[in-house]
Structure 1
Amino acid sequence: MVPEEFLRALCGPWQGTCRTWLEPGKLADESAIHGQFDALLNERFLRHSYQSEIQAKPRHGEELLTFNTVSKQYQVCWFDSFHMNYALMSSQGDLTAQGMDVLGHYDVGSGLPQWGWRTVYSLVSSQELTVIAYNVSPQGEEAKAVETVYRRVAKSVG
């Protein structure tokens, strides 16, 4: 898939389920999620806005996505009200057969090594998108942190 085609294919409303692990192997939450992908600036950028809950508390977030034609990598900037509520995370990575795989880093405390956050976006079909994020320890060990399974919402006529 051509990078720009992948981004265009995401446009529109989505809904599904978001599962969150706060410790490796221990599911902490499963909630409904509603998302919207909108093209910006002549379809060079994409805004992903979403609303959900985590442990019965509202959760909102946004991502900006693009394909950098110079570096030939995807770039994502992300913040939300739960995971990244104190900073912006910038990630970058490569095209995959079904989408993209990006890696960013976040701070866990003053004087402590950063942790990684790897996110894999897979357009399983024109009607299904999965977004799976992994925490990556400073030693390189990965553990699933968030799994969102979206289904495309039919656009209403009228």
Structure 2
Amino acid sequence: MGRKEFEASIAEGGHRRLARMIGEWEGTFRLWFQPDHVACESPQRGTIRGILDGRFLLHEYRSRFGDDPIEGVAIYGLHLDDNAFESAWVESFATGTSIMFSAGPASADHFNVLGSYGDGQGGPRWDWRTEIEQPSDDELIITMTNISPQGEAAKAVEVRYRRVATGV
């Protein structure tokens, strides 16, 4: 990636679209272990900020699963040379001691990446899709889908954020 390409992406391309997500957010975290049965619903608060001169976004958040606190961190980016979205995600609840790396073709539509994880028992890996949509400047929807080794997809997580108004 050259400086010129990155500056163009910041000015009017994919990095500018990603930068729309920067801000303070609050909303609702929902978790499914089985389709059509919400296992948990709790408030979630997050901060998304640009890092490394806007090359990446850092998303830090807190929620709960029952009485247990959840903390998570994700880095989102647009790899210009590969025209791909990328992320690295860690969380106190879902990822254990692993880092989930995900990638997917960049599109103007929304952030969409695919990673995978092991079952902890040596079986086949499961896929994990993370999608981020921003229907308006003040709304962010993060959907995570669990995909079995047989290809069966089921919504696992949904976070619906509203931008927190900042007082002047």
TM range (shorter): over 0.9
Larger-gyration structure (1/2): 2
In 2, the alpha carbon distance for the partners of 1:95 and 1:21 equals 27
Structure richer in helix, relative to its length: 2
What are the residue-to-residue correspondences of 1:48-63 with 2, within 5 Å?
Answer: 48-63=59-74
In 2, the alpha carbon distance for the partners of 1:10 and 1:37 equals 7
* Aligned-residue RMSD, C-alpha: 1.3
TM-score of the two chains, using structure 2 as the length reference: 0.89
How far residue 50 of structure 1 moved from its aligned partner, in angstroms, is 0.2
2:118 alignment partner AA: D
Deviations 1:11-64 (A, max 9, x none): 110000010001222110000000000111110011000001012210000001
2:93 alignment partner AA: F
How far residue 102 of structure 1 moved from its aligned partner, in angstroms, is 0.7
- The share of aligned pairs that are identical, in percent, is 38
Runs of 4+ in 1 over 4 A off after TM superposition: none
Do 1:63 and 1:79's aligned partners in 2 also have CA atoms closer than 8 Å? yes
In 2, the alpha carbon distance for the partners of 1:114 and 1:76 equals 18
How far residue 109 of structure 1 moved from its aligned partner, in angstroms, is 1.6
Deviations 1:76-132 (A, max 9, x none): 000101011220000011334442111000111232111000111000100100000
Structure richer in strand, relative to its length: 1
- Name the counterpart of 2:144: 133
> What is the aligned residue count?
157
What are the residue-to-residue correspondences of 1:25-36 with 2, within 5 Å?
Answer: 25-36=36-47
How far residue 2 of structure 1 moved from its aligned partner, in angstroms, is 3.2
In 1, the alpha carbon distance for the partners of 2:165 and 2:104 equals 30
Extract unaligned runs of 5+ from structure 1: none
1:124 alignment partner AA: P
Q: Establish whether residue 75 from structure 1 lines up as the match of residue 90 from structure 2.
A: no
TM-score of the two chains, using structure 1 as the length reference: 0.94
Higher alpha-carbon deviation: 89-98 or 67-76: 89-98
Equivalent of residue 115 in structure 2, options 87, 98, 104: 104
